[in-house]
Amino acid sequence: MATSAIAAIRRKCISRSASRRTDSGSAARPRSISSTTTRCAIYTTPQTNKNTLSQYDLNATFTPAPNWKILTDVHYRAFDQAHVDGNTTDLNSCGQPTLCDGNGKFDLSARYFPGAANLGVIDRTWTRSRTVGGTVQIENTDKIYSMPNKFTFGVNYEHGWTNFSPTRKSAF
């Protein structure tokens, strides 16, 4: 029985798709930031995005009897994204070798703080998503009372998960 089912495979297909894209550049910044006299307060770079997408798919069609067809599909998809962005913070000098937020509270200690300008940070994020799944579909085209008939039954299973990880580092 197993030998005849394998011999009845009409179509099988394995496919793979992949894409990778890396972008780098600065976004538009507000005019109020651009027009300040202290250009050292502008943190719009670095900005990079790296996107990677991979997809693997295996499908096959079996014909165990003349009016029966079994269609199958198994797939795996992977998406990865890495993002780096330079941004400003609400931290600035308190007049001592310490940093304060906008309310004057001590927030962070820094021994080598160069001046009174707003500080920058480098934000990094990583996103990793995966999906696995499969489908089985059964078709029957037997005639009922001499009339054409098509009966289809299918089952699908999908499972996906995503991990997200951010970091922030002072840029001074």
Q: Which band of pLDDT confidence, cut at 50, 70 and 90, is reported for residue 43?
A: very low
Q: Is residue 8 part of a domain?
A: yes
Q: Write out the residue range of the structural domain in which residue 105 sits.
A: 2-23+39-170
Sequential DSSP letters for 72-122: EEEEEEEEEEEEEEEEE-S-EE-SSSEEE-TTS-EEEE-TT---SSPPEEE
Q: Is residue 28 part of a domain?
A: no
Say how far apart CA 78 and CA 103 lie, in whole Å. 44
From 36-45, 47-56, 66-75, the region with the lowest mean pLDDT: 36-45
Q: Is residue 154 part of a domain?
A: yes
- Res 131 pLDDT > 90: yes
The dihedral sign for the CA sequence 79, 84, 88, 91: positive
Sequential DSSP letters for 15-27: EEEEEEEEEE---
Domain count across the chain: 1
Q: Is residue 31 part of a domain?
A: no
Q: Is residue 19 part of a domain?
A: yes
Per residue in 97-113, is it b (16+ CB within 10 Å) or e — as a string? eebbeeeeeebeebeeb
First-to-last C-alpha distance (Å) of the chain: 72
Q: What is the pLDDT of residue 99?
A: 63
Q: Is residue 32 part of a domain?
A: no
Q: What is the pLDDT of residue 85?
A: 84
- Res 13 pLDDT > 50: yes
- Res 109 pLDDT > 80: no
Give the residue carrying structure tokens 């894409």.
19
- Give the tens place of pLDDT for each residue, 85-97: 877 776 666 666 5
> Would you tell me how many other CB atoms lie within 10 Å of the CB of residue 75?
16
CA 21 to chain centre: 12
Q: Is residue 87 part of a domain?
A: yes
- Res 113 pLDDT > 80: no
Nearest Cα to Cα of residue 133 among 64, 54, 49, 73: 73
Q: What is the pLDDT of residue 45?
A: 63
Q: What is the mean pLDDT of the chain?
A: 75
Q: What is the pLDDT of residue 9?
A: 45
Q: Is residue 29 part of a domain?
A: no
| Residues forming a β-bridge with 69 | 139
